[in-house]
Structure formats: C-alpha cells, structure tokens
Amino acid sequence: MSGTAGTPAADGPYDLLLLAAGDDVAVAVRDLAAGPWRTSDGRVLRTSGPVRLGHKVAVRDIAAAEHVVRSGMSIGSATAPVAAGDWVHTHNLRSDYIVTFAHRGGEA
Amino acid sequence: MTTSPAPLLGYPRSDGRVGIRDVVAVVYLVECARVVADAIAAGRDDVHVIGFGGCYPSAYAYRMLEQLCTHPNVGAVVLVSLGCEGFDREALARTVAASGRPVTTLVIQALGGTRSTVARGRAWVDATRARSARGRMVPFDLADLVAGTICGGSDGTSGITANPVVGRVFDRLVAAGGTAVFEETGELIGCEHHMAERAVTAELGAQIVGRVEKAAAYYTAMGHGSFSPGNAEGGLTTLEEKSLGAYSKSGSGPIHGVVTPGQPIPAPGLYLLDVVPEGPPRWGFPNINDNAEIAELVAAGSHVVLFTTGRGSVVGSAVSPVVKICANPETYRRMSEDMDVDAGRILEGREGIDDVADEVLDLLHAVAGGRPTASEELGHREFVLTYKSSEPTGPACLPTVR
C-alpha cells in the first residue's frame, strides 16, 4: 500500500477515479487508508475508512433506495443511507437484477 | 493504427480463411478416449487435445467440434474414439476430409487398446507434420482476423482499464475490415437497451434485448448470476456493475449480428455470441467456467482471444492463442509471467486507453505472425466442452446491413 492516512500519495495524479461526470461513486486506484484523498476531478474527499484498490466510495450523500450511478449507468440501489466518503459495497448496495453471491459480504 | 509494416504470413484453408497457427487437433470423442488422446499429443507444442467427454450424443457438442476441427488454426485432425460412444465420428471425419484437411479416425477397441492406438496416432501425426512442413504460406492482414474477447477473474479495475482497451481495439479491428466477437449475455444484464441502440437494425436490437432477458431468467433459475465471490472481493458489488465493465469490451461501433455457440460468423463485423441456451435450464450453467466460453469463441472462428483479467488468470486455450490483458497493476506485478499486457498503468495515470490499445494492436499483429503469447509459452491449452442445448440464430440476428 502506498500512501498513509491523511497524506495523499505523491506518486500519482489522483487517488480516486471518477469514471463519468455526475457519477455517485469514485474508484480507488490503489489501497487507501481513511483520510482525505484527491479525486480525478480535482476535489478532495475524506474517506471514512480504508478502501481497497478497485473498490468504490460515495462522492455525495446517497439516500436509501436511491439508484447509485457509476460510469453514467445505474449499478443498483442503496440499501441504507450512504454518506460522502463511505465505502460502497454489498453492505449498502444491491442489484436491481439478480442478488449478488459472495463470501463474507465480499469483504475479503 | 500502429501496426508493424512486416507482412503477415498464414496457413491457407480451402474455405478461404487463413490460419495463424497450424495445429494438429487430437480429438477425444468420449472421456474414455481422453488419456489415449493426451498420450498421442504428449510433448508436442503444435498438437492440441480437444474433445467431448459425454457418452450420449449432443448436437451442440457435435457442431462445436465440427467448427473446431475445421477452424483456420487447425491443419490436421486425429479423431480418437473408444468405439461404443454415441458421437457420430464418421460424419465428423467426412466433414473434416471435405475441408481438405488430413484426418484419421482411431478406434481404440478395434486397434487393440491403449499402446497400439497411441503408437498409431503418434506415427500418423509425425507423417502428417512432415508433409505439412512443406506447405506454402499466404499473406494476410488484420482484415482477415477474427478476435474474440472474454473477461475472467474480473475486479473493480477490469471495467476501467483492460476492458475499454479491448473496446478500442475492437473498434479499430472492425473499422479495418476485421471481425470481433464479444459474449455472455448473462454478463451484459443492464446493458441491453444500450446495445439495442447500437444494433444495425431495429429487429436485431429487439433480438438482443430478448436474449439478455432470456439470460436474466436463466441465471435467476440457476440461483445466482454470473458473479463469483472473487468479483465482489475485487470491488464489484452488483451484476449490473460487472456488466457495464464487461460491456466496454465491445467498443462503441455498430453491432452487426448475434450468433450462438457452434455457429460460424458469416461476414466481417462486430458480433455478440449468445451463450445462454434457449428454453428452461437443462444442463446447468450456460458455461461452467472461462474455458468453456473461450472454446465457444474459438469455435465461432476466433483466431485469437483477448482475455482481460483483474484478479489474475493463467489460462490459455487449445487451437487459438489467448492474449492476457491485465487490468490491475498490483496483479500485473504479482503475476507478470502470465500476462501479455499491463493495462493497469491506465489506472495509475501513467498512460491512456489509446496508448495501451496501440500496444495490443501491435501485439495482435505479432501474435498473428507467430509470436507465442504468455499462455502459449507456459503450455496452457485448456479446453472445456460440456452438454448444452443451442440453436443457430436466424436472419433477424444476422442482418446483411453493414
């Protein structure tokens, strides 16, 4: 893991990648500890906990039952209120098609 | 397109297609003949084992093996039969012979068992190889190529880096007159209406929507979607999130048609391979693993398969080379010997999607010219074919509009 809590890494232009303008979530480009990180659209977002590479954090507050948009398309509905900076995964997002099957809620 | 200027040379086949490899396929027609087939192929890089393990006949397995035995990368065929299985070995041998390829059928029960059949098979392969070494090669270019794509071991990086790279490669391959195949309607759930807008006719668009709905119903009956625990551990939360990442492999161009497994692609363009059977589920999951899908992409005519992975896969394939495009920079560093392309550098902002797409096109050119891929060098020649029901698509799925 590069970077430590509260210290944005200096070896890349951003830490959280927003895939499309208007997306509700951004993707961690490396394993990140809790803390303020740079987004690819030039903002700073404080993550509320660690986020692993490839995982998502909310870039805005999301209400329960709201659709969550990534790459401009809905990837499911929030099952609980999500605050900006929270990790978004199987504990607070569900498919609108077929239920996700995962060990330990996908927490690895 | 940044392809090297060197002309490509390939193996001409009687149907006009050109092979980028000249493989002898040793085909077991029931599991009982598999060890004999393995022994015939043992120790030879250009002799690949494919086959079907079931004893009962299957129209799907027959069509698959027919397409594979007459695949442009295959130059000769050894059919290995135990003797009592249900597979129609005579019909397959006739089809292969009609394609101009050398073919022999070895029936283990008639030849006196394991050793004598292996010896006969190895001698036939030696003699056939010696003759084919004198064959002429012909020039070809990317317009003659068929490339398939599959993602396996996907994670949150796949849909951001490697899959869009393949999409870009597909756009350019099809623009150059080539053929590209993407697949797994069950992994495109949520993208059906977007795909329909890309279809060259409204009728084809309606077919695509219906086929994705069929896939959703099928997977619902199976109990869960095409989504493995590793996908979730890698950061993918829902099937539709995985879908939109997988979908980006198809690029942005028009979709020219839909084919089903065992059905050859009729003309250049971009095709969706619908791997989900018709009707109620009968033999389990549409494909039990990535290699069953790769076998179907190859049977569709793919000379090469672009395999994107985030979590890390090591597999290759019989008959056609597999190019491994690694989406995740950490996986690439950990498993680089199994990877051909490091697309994770896009994630780290080191290069753009077009830069990596250029590299893949250059590599595609080199592999078409004979350079072995990582999985070929490591000896990966996986092959999986199981029971399935599938029906070839009709004119609604194959409009002639370009």
Q: In terms of domains, do B86 and B153 share one?
A: no
Give me the CATH number covering residue B62: 3.40.50.920
From chain A, the residues in CB contact with B219 under 8 A are 98
CB contact under 8 A, A88 and B237: yes
Identify which of A53, A73, A74 has the shortest CB distance to residue B157: A53
Cβ–Cβ of B349/A12 closer than 8 Å? yes
DSSP conformation letters of B150-174: EE-S--TTTTTTHHHHHHHHHHHHH
B55 is a domain residue? yes
- Residues of chain A in contact with residue B330, where contact means CB-CB under 8 angstroms, are 30, 53
Average pLDDT over residues A78-91: 97
**Do the bridges between strand B269-273 and strand B257-259 make them parallel or antiparallel, or are there none, so unpaired?**
parallel
Q: Which residue has the tokens 């995964």?
A: A89
DSSP annotation of B5? S
Write down the pLDDT at residue A5: 35
From the CA of B197, how many Å to the nearest CA of chain A? 15
pLDDT at position A106: 41
Q: Are residues B244 and B354 in the same domain?
A: yes
- Give yes or no: residues B365 and B257 share one domain: yes
Give backbone dihedrals phi and psi of B183, rounded to 5 degrees, phi first. -155, -175
**Where does residue A35 fall: left (phi above 0), alpha (psi -120 to 50 degrees), or beta otherwise?**
left
- Taking only the tens place, the pLDDT of each residue in B72-105 is 999 999 999 999 999 999 999 999 999 999 999 9
Nearest-CA residue of chain B relative to A16? B347
In a domain, B312, yes or no: yes
Asked if B216 lies within 8 A of A97 by C-beta distance, the reply is: yes
Which of B97, B132, B167 represents a domain boundary (last residue)? Answer: B132
In angstroms, the separation between the Cα of residue B386 and the nearest Cα of chain A is 24
Residues B127 and B147 in one domain: no
Return the pLDDT at A12: 53
- Asked if A97 lies within 8 A of B190 by C-beta distance, the reply is yes
At B219 the pLDDT is 86
Residues B94 and B160 in one domain: no
Are residue B122 and residue B152 in the same domain, yes or no?
no
Give buried/exposed letters for B19-32 (b at 16+ CB in 10 A, else e): bbbbbbbbbbbbeb
Q: Which of B79, B112, B132 is the last residue of a domain?
A: B132
**B25 with B67, same domain?**
yes
Dist CA B337 CA B350 (whole Å): 21
* pLDDT tens, per residue, chain B with 402 residues: 454 557 899 999 999 999 999 999 999 999 999 999 999 999 999 999 999 999 999 999 999 999 999 999 999 999 999 999 999 999 999 999 999 999 999 999 999 999 999 999 999 999 999 988 788 899 999 999 999 999 998 888 999 999 999 999 999 999 999 999 999 898 898 899 889 999 999 999 999 999 999 998 898 888 777 777 888 888 999 988 989 899 999 999 999 999 999 999 999 999 999 999 988 888 888 999 999 999 999 999 999 999 999 999 999 999 999 999 999 999 999 999 999 999 999 987 778 899 999 999 999 999 999 999 999 999 999 999 999 998 999 999 999 988
Of B194, B245, B330, the CB nearest to A53: B330
- Amino acid identity of B31? E
Least Cα separation, residue A98 to chain B (angstroms): 6
Domain containing B80 equals 8-132
What pLDDT is stored for residue A2 in this prediction?
Answer: 35
Angle separating helix axes B89-98 and B59-69, nearest 10 degrees: 30
In a domain, B1, yes or no: no
Are B124 and B18 in a shared domain?
Answer: yes
Whether B315 maps to a domain, the answer reads: yes
Residue B88 and residue B232 in one domain: no
Q: Which domains does chain A have, with CATH numbers?
A: 16-106 (2.30.130.110)
Chain A residues inside the 8 Å CB shell of B348: 12, 29-30
The pLDDT score that the predictor gives to residue B375 is: 98
Q: Considering the domain boundaries, does residue B352 fall inside one? A: yes
Of the residues B72, B100, B132, which one is the last residue of a structural domain?
Answer: B132
**Spatial contact of B178 and B170, defined as CB atoms under 8 Å apart:** no
Separation between Cα atoms, residue B255 and residue B59, nearest integer Å = 28
Chain A: closest CA distance from residue B185 (Å): 13
Nearest CB neighbour to A102, from listed B159, B160, B229: B229
Contact B220 A98 (CB under 8 A): yes
Contact B323, B364 (CB under 8 A): yes
Angstrom distance (rounded) from CA B116 to CA B19: 32
- Please indicate whether, in this complex, the C-beta atoms of B330 and A17 are within 8 angstroms of each other: no
Predicted local confidence at residue A38, as pLDDT: 94
Together in a domain, B196 and B108: no
Per-residue confidence at A71, pLDDT binned at 50, 70, 90?
confident
User: Could you write out the three-class secondary structure of B221-251?
Assistant: HHCCCCCCHHHHHCCCCCHHHHHHHHHHHHC
CA distance B38 to chain A (A): 36
Count up the domains in chain B and report the number: 2
